[in-house]
Structure 1
């Protein structure tokens, strides 16, 4: 049997590992750190670029830097076979085609790049080239959801060929995008894959994991015969490509990772509607203390240093008091919608808010039992800045689509701390309280 290629994932926020386990997440991308990922026993590793939080120019710069360092690391390690995945949002937000263009120029040429946004754990499916958000057996085209109205990454089409034409401003016309339909995938795609050349753009259907499992088999067979492919995808295709066995500890028993049964902290930065619904249900649970970070006042005060200092000190005082009383502090940013002059101003304020939250993380109680981070950008910053990690080991999923990692035992402040990376738009209304209960029941009886 042909050895499987190494699967290298450039993840634009830290939640793309939400369907796999036991692999490395890299928070840095110097050549030596990248070599750690290439040498690791797992068939897959993730480079957390966090580009979804960056401007288009910054996203391109970071992506090119990663790719150039990757090229060196691959050469040093003598890696002959690899697949590159630009992992992004299952609701089509992100810097497309900026990132795939940069990867193609730095690591190409590729015979094709595949758009595979299906993410079954989150109810995202693709049928006849159209991408849907499926809730309670109702399939809504994603351009009709709140995600398409994103102030930075808005779009107008759920039919992927039209989405590509929109995002590439006509450089790739809709009629040049090949659609791999469900019927075609289930019948087998190997011959068609072998015929692709010139970085052809392809949209791939998927209604259930078995669809992408079949497609991945054909992809790997074609790759073994010399075809070079690039992927722009959500997480479910990664499950298929990596083909891992079940995770070592099942979700119901992950409280075994909690440090000495101590209470934890939940940090909620995401503002999507689902996150807010989950937050309000969590705040009603026993054993939690809600602490609101008032962004409205800070925004109205033109993000003054004095207001920031007061917010930081007040939040930390409440968090430490809750912890000393055996409560899990739920620290959340105010839910009101703020208005900004333009997307750049919004991004800049987002960075300031994240910096404040990371100052909070760095000053949390030293004997913290666990940390739950809600929101993709918040989670990335928690790992890379708040906890200052170089790498983290993914333990698995505590909820479908919701990863848990652990800091190294050598961490100077929080050794062996379990950290949940909870995407903003994943889980039902009880998702956040379910994760809390799975970790906190020992200390709270919840």
Structure 2
């Protein structure tokens, strides 16, 4: 049932959880107080969508000691560092994690702050595992913080990605299916065969950690055993042993956090490998309603001295090629109110045509956004082009993303859009850093409940422009349309 290739019939969620104890309620306010007394959570985000489950936390897109010290000084229990390592080859991802970990150790020592690291990755199990946790564990040990366990919690409750009996499931229109049966398991770079997280760990570690060596925290442990039972399991881990955790609801995750905090208070140290929902619980937050246009207007500074002409329309940059993004884009098209430009991927990959194609697209984009006939949507052609292997596919993705970001950067340098939305993980990250020059920001909430982040850039050319981080694999078919309609009210 949990391995790819076996035909699986979708099942209702309540059928998956039948026979388990009822959910154990947790006082969220009391947990927030407990979190405030624990170690500062530093979330290394392998694409920019991890902020989709939280609100009012700092976000860094670079990791100098000064930037990290700024984040550590904020009166918050957590902050994010956008590494975007999911878009990098393994050697580059490893080197970047070492750089961040080293700078973080220096910054924390200077500020006198103890911390715990979450390697935040994909709720559909894509990403550089175990590479990133291996590198971070080694760096933490070198900094005098050796870990006892790696806590693996991929759940994304808002999107219907949950773990039951150590098997990771995802919601579809037909019901729940193991993630190994999804399109994400066939990813050209990060594909896998197992949805049972014990087998997935064994698969990804190439047998270094066999299934029998993977510890578990089950729904029974969380709901019947409670925080004390969780503390006992986690407190018994040694040597960086991985532990996979069930979770179906936010309260399940809060119980986990209570047990984690107790184990950490007792001296245990952990490294977290997680999806978005755990970060919300570990930050002491609860799901917040989506932000509306009035709240966004109040949060953004007035920049009357900006010399750029202002457009009444926004900019949507679409790089993701997953089927859901294409359907969302089709729904947005069907309602009108947009103008489109397409970057042709074969042209971008042709050394003789790529630069000219980008330059022509920039000039046309300036003209269209300046005339404000509709929100400008810049897309890459919808046929996915892949390479001979995972590394080659990543290289193609980087080339295409660089072209898209160049259009955004040159356009925003000449015209100030009403908003910018990046659609797709790599696209959203590169748009934030290379396109808009964001180095420090605040995540101010979501446009879709628990799914789509809104950032307030602190400085640079994007200051005062709401930036929306929209993953390729979240929301329903109307999700992009819903987000754009809210933004049009600004």
The interval holding the TM-score normalised by the smaller chain is: over 0.9
* Partner deviation per Cα, 1:161-199 (whole Å, 9 max, x = no partner): 100001101110001101211111112212222222221
- 1:283/1:330 contact within 8 Å kept: no
Asked whether 1:100 is paired with 2:100, we answer no
- 2:438/2:462 contact within 8 Å kept: no
- 1:252/1:398 contact within 8 Å kept: no
Asked whether 1:7 is paired with 2:7, we answer no
- 1:255/1:440 contact within 8 Å kept: no
Matched residue, 1:88? 121
Q: CA deviation at 1:415?
A: 2.6
Name the TM-score, length of structure 2 as normaliser. 0.85
Identify which range, 422-431 or 217-226, moves more after superposition.
Answer: 217-226
Matched residue, 2:312? 262
Tell me the distance in 1 between the aligned counterparts of 2:387 and 2:232. 50
Tell me the distance in 2 between the aligned counterparts of 1:335 and 1:394. 30
Identify which range, 258-267 or 55-64, moves more after superposition.
Answer: 258-267
Asked whether 1:286 is paired with 2:336, we answer yes
Name the TM-score, length of structure 1 as normaliser. 0.93
Q: 2:384 aligns with which of 337, 357, 360?
A: 337
Q: SS where residue 17 of structure 1 aligns?
A: helix
Q: CA deviation at 1:319?
A: 5.0
Asked whether 1:404 is paired with 2:454, we answer yes
Matched residue, 1:429? 477
Q: CA deviation at 1:203?
A: 0.4
Matched residue, 2:422? 373
Tell me the distance in 2 between the aligned counterparts of 1:208 and 1:323. 46
Q: 1:68 aligns with which of 96, 102, 105?
A: 102
Asked whether 1:208 is paired with 2:240, we answer no
Tell me the distance in 2 between the aligned counterparts of 1:246 and 1:127. 21
Q: CA deviation at 1:315?
A: 4.8
- 1:296/1:336 contact within 8 Å kept: no
Q: Alpha carbons of 1:291 and 1:30: their partners in 2 closer, same or farther (altered >3 Å)? A: same
Q: CA RMSD in A?
A: 2.0
Q: CA deviation at 1:345?
A: 2.3
Q: SS where residue 283 of structure 1 aligns?
A: helix
Q: CA deviation at 1:133?
A: 0.8
Matched residue, 2:63? 29
Identify which range, 136-145 or 431-440, moves more after superposition.
Answer: 136-145
Tell me the distance in 2 between the aligned counterparts of 1:199 and 1:255. 43
* Partner deviation per Cα, 1:218-256 (whole Å, 9 max, x = no partner): 111211121111110001011111113675973464553
Asked whether 1:440 is paired with 2:488, we answer yes
Identify which range, 420-429 or 333-342, moves more after superposition.
Answer: 333-342
Matched residue, 1:186? 223
Q: CA deviation at 1:311?
A: 3.6
Matched residue, 1:124? 161
- 2:332/2:481 contact within 8 Å kept: yes
Q: CA deviation at 1:305?
A: 4.5
Matched residue, 2:12? none
- 2:311/2:370 contact within 8 Å kept: no
Asked whether 1:195 is paired with 2:236, we answer yes
Tell me the distance in 2 between the aligned counterparts of 1:21 and 1:361. 26
User: What are the ranges of 5 or more consecutive residues in structure 2 without an aligned counterpart?
Assistant: 1-32, 303-309
Tell me the distance in 1 between the aligned counterparts of 2:361 and 2:83. 32
* Partner deviation per Cα, 1:6-59 (whole Å, 9 max, x = no partner): 001111111111111111111111111111111111111111111101111111
Matched residue, 1:57? 91
Length, aligned pairs only: 436
Matched residue, 1:150? 187
Q: CA deviation at 1:306?
A: 3.1
- 2:339/2:368 contact within 8 Å kept: no
